């Protein structure tokens, strides 16, 4: 994988893709006879490897693991900070908030760069969303939602949860929510999954939709298609047509976009969505001009600047 001239591999992101890429590279170096001068650094904005796919669960206390011990044993350096710039001409990344106390930013030179910065929830500029809307995009977001649910004082007033966005994350959360609310002492929970599309689960395919419908009937989840949210407040949402949905909890799960860092390396972007029971990367990948159509398996490779086709498998079975 690594040619003789490569001295420093920098991996951006400590999620599944980045961790797998760094550990995979370290393993290959360990197996190689000529690896003396090659260093691997992983940069992540915090010290955690977060298992985002579990963020809809009630107990997420073990849904993130400290990166340092994992990386240390593989000989990979961890730099904690926010990558704010990638300069592909000079082959450096700028990391802010990294380094010794007082040092605001530092640069890291690279010979190979693995961009595995993942995706982030899109939060449109809807009045009230930033203040009253919850999400399960990150561990911290999911933790805030859990705290809010646990602190609901009025069990009757707090019985309604509106989830906006009926993709995989929204459907998953909606199915889990009735049991979660009952577990908190809410006897008659009302869970509504709304989407602007005219059918719930549209993006999940023809096979999935009847399964989702059955599950919703069994679990008592209300599906609300063709909904457009105009405003959110503490007690619910006002729709564009003026009608109201009262809910003490609103969770926004309507869409993600790849990390903005991808634009800095000028790659074409494809968001690769995972299949159930398999965790794959939802993140930008390089699209080589001579192969406009790549099968999914090939898309699950860490994107390496300059070398799009070096596979670093990022597909893990969910156990």
Ligand X SMILES: Cc1cc2nc3c(=O)[nH]c(=O)nc-3n(C[C@H](O)[C@H](O)[C@H](O)COP(=O)(O)OP(=O)(O)OC[C@H]3O[C@@H](n4cnc5c(N)ncnc54)[C@H](O)[C@@H]3O)c2cc1C
User: Smaller CB distance to ligand X: residue 198 or 268?
Assistant: 268
Cβ at position 120, least distance to ligand X in Å: 8
Calpha distance 192→284 (Å, rounded): 31
Q: Which two tokens stand for residue 93?
A: 């990344």
42 interacts with ligand X by CB under 6 A: no
Residue 168 or residue 174: which is nearer to ligand X going by CB?
A: 168
Cβ 271 to ligand X, closest distance in Å?
10
In the chain, alpha helices (H): 16-31, 67-72, 129-132, 139-150, 168-183, 208-219, 261-265, 296-299
Q: Which two tokens stand for residue 167?
A: 């993709």
Residue 284 sits in the site that holds ligand X (CB under 6 A): no
d(C-alpha 139, C-alpha 63), whole Å:
8
Residue 115 Cα distances to 65, 111, 221, angstroms: 21, 13, 38
What is the crossing angle of helices 208-219 and 168-183, to 10°? 20
Q: Among 119, 146, 286, 303, which residue interacts with ligand X (rule: CB under 6 A)?
A: 119
- Based on the shown chain and the rule CB under 6 A, indicate whether residue 136 belongs to the binding site for ligand X: yes
The residues pairing with 164 across neighbouring beta strands, listed in sequence order, are 194, 252
CA distance 255 to 257: 7
Which span sits near ligand X by CB under 6 A: 104-112, 158-166, 184-192, 281-289? 281-289
Residue pair 135/145 in contact by the 8 Å Cβ criterion: yes
Among 9, 14, 113, 149, contact with ligand X (rule: CB under 6 A): 14
Provide the 3-class DSSP secondary structure of residue 192. Answer: strand
CA angle centred on 259, ends 118 and 314, rounded to 5°: 25
Minimum CB distance to ligand X smaller for 118 or for 165: 118
Phi, psi of 162 (to 5 degrees): -105, 120
Q: In the complex, what is the shortest distance from the CB of residue 237 to ligand X, in angstroms, rounded to a whole number?
A: 21
**Residue 83 binds ligand X, judged by CB under 6 A:** yes
Using the minimum distance from each CB to ligand X, give the nearer residue, 243 or 278: 278
Name the residue nearer to ligand X (CB basis): 83 or 312: 83
* C-alpha span between 237 and 302 (Å, rounded): 40
**Nearest approach, Cβ of 167 to ligand X (angstroms)?**
9
Which residue is closest to ligand X by CB? 274
Strand partners, 252: 164
Q: Which of 2, 281, 304, 305 forms a contact with ligand X (CB under 6 A)?
A: 281
Of 30-38, 52-60, 155-163, 210-218, the segment contacting ligand X by CB under 6 A is 52-60
Residues for the chain: how many in total? 319
* Residue 55 interacts with ligand X (CB under 6 A): yes or no: yes
Q: Which residue stretch of 27-35, 50-58, 146-154, 210-218 sits at the interface with ligand X (rule: CB under 6 A)?
A: 50-58
Distances in Å between the Cα of 86 and the Cα atoms of 94, 174, 260 are: 6, 38, 11
Taking the complex as a whole, the smallest distance from the CB of residue 176 to ligand X amounts, in Å, to 10
> Where does this chain touch ligand X (CB under 6 A) — which range of 16-24, 180-188, 288-296, 304-312?
16-24
Least spacing, CB of residue 223 vs ligand X, in Å: 19
Binding residues for ligand X (CB under 6 A):
12-18, 43-45, 50, 52-53, 55-56, 82-83, 116-119, 136-137, 168-169, 172, 259, 261, 274, 276, 279-283
């Amino acid at each position: 994988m690594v040619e003789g001239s490569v001295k420093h591999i920098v991996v951006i992101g400590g999620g599944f893709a980045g961790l797998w890429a760094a550990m995979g590279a370290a393993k290959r170096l360990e197996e190689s006879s000529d690896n003396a001068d090659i260093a691997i650094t992983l940069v992540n904005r915090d010290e955690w490897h977060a298992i985002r796919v579990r963020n809809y669960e009630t107990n997420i206390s073990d849904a993130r693991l400290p990166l340092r011990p994992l990386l240390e044993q593989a000989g990979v350096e961890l730099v904690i900070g926010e990558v704010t710039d990638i300069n592909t001409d000079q082959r450096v990344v700028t990391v802010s908030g990294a380094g010794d106390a007082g040092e605001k930013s530092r640069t890291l030179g690279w010979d190979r760069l693995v961009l595995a910065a993942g995706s982030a929830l899109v939060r449109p500029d809807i009045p009230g969303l930033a203040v009253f809307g919850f999400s399960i995009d990150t561990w911290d977001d999911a933790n805030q939602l859990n705290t809010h649910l646990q602190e609901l004082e009025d069990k009757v007033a707090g019985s309604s949860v509106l989830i906006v966005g009926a993709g995989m994350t929204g459907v998953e959360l909606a199915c889990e929510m009735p049991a979660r609310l009952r577990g908190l002492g809410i006897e008659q929970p009302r869970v509504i999954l709304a989407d602007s599309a005219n059918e719930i689960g549209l993006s999940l395919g023809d096979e999935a939709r009847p399964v989702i419908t059955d599950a919703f009937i069994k679990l008592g989840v209300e599906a609300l298609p063709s909904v457009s949210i105009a405003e959110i407040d503490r007690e619910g949402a006002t729709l564009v047509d003026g009608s109201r949905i009262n809910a003490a909890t609103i969770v926004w799960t309507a869409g993600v976009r790849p990390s903005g860092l991808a634009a800095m390396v000028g790659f074409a972007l494809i968001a690769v969505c995972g299949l159930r029971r398999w965790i794959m990367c939802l993140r930008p990948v390089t699209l080589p001009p001579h192969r406009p159509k790549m099968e999914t398996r090939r898309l699950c490779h860490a994107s390496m600047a300059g070398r799009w086709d070096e596979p670093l498998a990022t597909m893990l079975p969910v156990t």
